Amino acid sequence: MDFLGQFWNNVALGFSVAGTPFNLLLCFVGVFLGTLIGVLPGIGPMTGVALLIPLTFSLQPSAAIILMAGIYYGAMYGGSTTSILVNTPGESSSVVTCLDGYQMAKKGRAGPALAAAAIGSFVAGTFATLMLMLFGPWVAGIALNFGPPEFFSLMVAGLTVVTSLAGRSLVKALFATLFGLAIATMGIDNQSAVPRFTFGNPELLDGLEFLVVAIGLFALCEVFVNLADMKEAVQERLSIKGSLWLTKEDWKRFVPSCIRGTLSGFFVGGIAGAGAAVASFVSYGLEKKASKYRDELGSGAIEGVTGPESANNAAAGGALIHLLCLGIPGSGTTAIMLGALLMIGLQPGPLLFTQQPAFVWGLIASMYIGNVMLLVLNLPLVGMWVKLLDVPLYLLLMFITMFSFLGVYTMNNSVQDLYLMVGFGVIGYLMKRLDIPASPVILGIVLGKLMEEKMRQSLVISDGSVMIFLNRPISLFLLFLAVVAITNPYWKPIGRAIRRLFRGAPAR
Amino acid sequence: MKEKREERIASVVLIVFSATYLAGAFYIPMPVFKQQLGPGAFPIATGIGMLSLACIYAWQQFRGGAKVNEENEEVEKRAVIIGAEEKIEKKADLKAMGFMLAAMLFYAFAFERLGYAISTFVVFMAGVLYLDRRHLVRDAVIAVISSFVLYYIFSIFLRVNLPAGPLKFLEF
């Protein structure tokens, strides 16, 4: 079969899966809940997806991922609304949107700002989905030839690249990753049936459920963090005046920045594997350099909204390429989704594309549908979303607590999990206070078991020699990437030291 | 400096934790049949990694001087580029946090004993009474909905088993 024929077959298959009334409804519920989460300050996409995973337990795998992807997209989307109207980003990837979005709203141009964000996100999301359709099978095809050593190196590279972008201090971020790997070693070892770190506790034989850790580290941690600044004053809220629609002049400025944002976001998220927050910052930087109106940035330029908003959605879509084709999450949120898929019993990775085409293409089709729904849902309902901010913080905190308990309990009907979750909530707060990023922990937990398995398989192949990771070109390249990712903050000081060394050396 | 002290304590805690984990990894029993790489190898590698990072962290915290400030500036610059999350306010309301922690522990303790509905209602109302008691009636209604009504929605429509507790006789 030729490439194009196969392509159309896949697309048709996808829409036939996603187009069933039930799945359409789930997609709608997903983007709705996602937007709600994105709008509410304090609940980011990670917390939101983690909290809502228990909802998917009773669903078919394809229905579950459609719901999750809807939540993921909706949350990326919803964050921009509050950035523009209230100057409060709903999540980290729309922090940049505040800079110009709020200024635009102050000038009475909230409508066009919201429209620009929505349309930019739509274009970028659609582009990323298209790229996933075109290149996904190709990337998966390459990865199909990977042996255990390549996979091990790929995971090392994935973990280090994401970790190196995860926080202020590389040492802390790396420690967090290893902490995650350490948690993943708890439970019965798959290959030798030896219990590890179970402390004689039968419930720990299966290891720590990642959701217990994720909900503790994100959701309960949010409760503690928010309690600290409960008495904050209510922010000034801007209403939408005038037309929602963009003027001709706006369109002229919108198009180039949207293209720049989409491409840079897709590059950052889909190729470099970094998260949506990084993408939005990169895009804002790019606008500052490339835009014709760069002097207006910061005082309400439409480019400052379009660029970052397109970029973060393109990156969110790009991150799904990593997740689906390679099984490597590119961000905390996709790590949580990976964990959820593993719980359902699906192993994302190159085999998924060939073995479960209905699942993969159904998801892709639902991403299109979700994008359209978001566009339709968001602009007219903006007033309702903003009203959500009237929910008092203390009630919100009680709801987060309640849903955390509900979700974790329904997973295993275990009270011990509840205590562990509270424990991780406290750990999460302490980590936040010490500025240790939490998302690497989740990445470590989710990838830990598989990473260990691949490492041991590789060493069986090579009869115990570690050279197997260096002898294979792809594996070597991936490990090289990992080294670059870890060492890059130190290049400058090292370079300086070397220069100093040579300058100090006596000339002969 | 208080912040400094906090990080120093943390670095020591992390060293102790990593060392304990590493020691535990060495005690993982060998399986009956011999393998290329036993069950202890990966945890040992992880433990060594954690311990060395914790030591570097401690070293960063315990050495003083101007060099650190210069480095902090670099770090802040990097943080802006990668969009790191903002640092949280250090002045935490310890009393409120202690209350919330106690409430959560009670919630976990009571979840099966009192059942979902009663324990949720109690914890919800306790939270409301402690945090903000200006809208008691409205909040009580919300508490009832999110405890009792939600319980029935979950157990009847979604067929999710939540603990009933003493309210077992109300079950369908």
Q: What is the ipTM of this complex?
A: 0.86
Q: For residue A197, give the DSSP letter.
A: S
Q: Which of A27-31, A205-209, A396-400, B140-144 has the lowest mean pLDDT?
A: A205-209
Domain ranges for chain A: 3-230+249-503
Q: What is the mean pLDDT of residues A474-479?
A: 88
Q: What is the mean pLDDT of residues B150-168?
A: 75
Instruction: In whole angstroms, give the CA distance from residue B28 to residue A225.
Output: 37
Closest Cα in chain B, distance from residue A167 (Å): 5
B46 compared with B4, residue with greater pLDDT: B46
Q: How many CB atoms lie within 10 A of CB A466?
A: 12
Q: Residue A424: what pLDDT?
A: 94
For A23-64, how does the pLDDT look when each residue is reduced to its tens digit (9 = 90+)?
Answer: 889 888 888 888 888 887 667 777 888 888 877 777 888 888
Nearest to B127 among A167, A394, A426 (CB): A394
SS (H, E, C) B40-53: CHHHHHHHHHHHHH
Residue A112 has pLDDT above 80, yes or no: yes
Check CB contact under 8 Å for B83 and A96.
yes
Nearest to A191 among B6, B35, B78 (CB): B35
Task: Give the residue among A161, A170, A179, A165 at the shortest CA–CA distance from A479.
Answer: A161
Q: For residue A436, give the DSSP letter.
A: -
Q: Which of A241-245, A441-445, B31-35 is the most confident on average?
A: A441-445
Q: How far is CA B103 from CA A395, B108, B142, in A?
A: 15, 9, 18
Task: Give the residue among A216, A219, A213, A231 at the shortest CA–CA distance from A398.
Answer: A219
**Which are the contacts of B12, defined by CB distance < 8 A and separation ≥ 6?**
B58
Instruction: In whole angstroms, give the CA distance from residue B74 to residue B62.
Output: 19
Return residues 131-170 of B near A (CB < 8 Å).
131-132, 135, 139, 142, 146, 154, 158-163
Residue A422 CA neighbour count, 13 Å, CB half: 21
Check CB contact under 8 Å for A169 and B75.
yes
Please report, to the nearest 10 degrees, the dihedral formed by the alpha carbons of residues A457, A459, A461, A467 taken in order. 140
Q: How many CB atoms lie within 10 A of CB B90?
A: 10
For A254-292, how does the pLDDT look when each residue is reduced to its tens digit (9 = 90+)?
Answer: 888 888 989 988 888 777 666 777 788 888 888 888 887
Residues forming a β-bridge with A187: A196
Q: Residue A421: what pLDDT?
A: 93
Q: What are the two backbone dihedrals, phi and then psi, of residue A316, each rounded to the nearest 5 degrees? A: -65, -40
Contact A200, A410 (CB under 8 A): no
Check CB contact under 8 Å for B83 and A281.
yes
Q: For residue A4, give the DSSP letter.
A: H
Closest Cα in chain B, distance from residue A284 (Å): 10
A224: contact with B, CB 8 A cutoff: yes
Helices (H), B83-166: 94-113, 115-131, 136-144, 150-152
Across chain B, what does the average pLDDT equal?
A: 79
For A483-498, how does the pLDDT look when each residue is reduced to its tens digit (9 = 90+)?
Answer: 888 887 777 777 777 7
Across chain A, what does the average pLDDT equal?
A: 82
Residue A455 has pLDDT above 50, yes or no: yes
